[in-house]
Structure 1
Amino acid sequence: ESIVQYAAVCRTQNNELNAAADDSMSRFCEDVATRIEAKIRQQKDLLEQTG
């Protein structure tokens, strides 16, 4: 759960700073948040299948 919150905060900060930030850093932050969320979804799905 805390990782999901971290990803959301990262995405929010990225959106707020997007105008001032370098575009490559913006894409990096978005990519990290997306990967974290996907990994968590995979783990939840696996737990549901085995549980």
Structure 2
Amino acid sequence: MSKIENAPQTGTPPTIHPFHVNVPEVEISELKRRLEATRWLVGIPAHRDQ
């Protein structure tokens, strides 16, 4: 069992609150550039826990 399953119950479900993040456009552009330049591994199967 996971820790979440073993956690004590509080009786109230968690509340989800919307939020906003302000990131400068220059940072977004740099991230896009870096992602496009990334050499992704191809042909290697992803490890999956079973």
Query: Which of structures 1 and 2 has the larger relative contact order (alpha carbons within 8 angstroms, sep 6+)?
Result: 1
Q: What is the TM-score normalised by the length of structure 1?
A: 0.31
Higher helix share: 1
Which structure has the larger Rg over C-alpha atoms?
Answer: 2
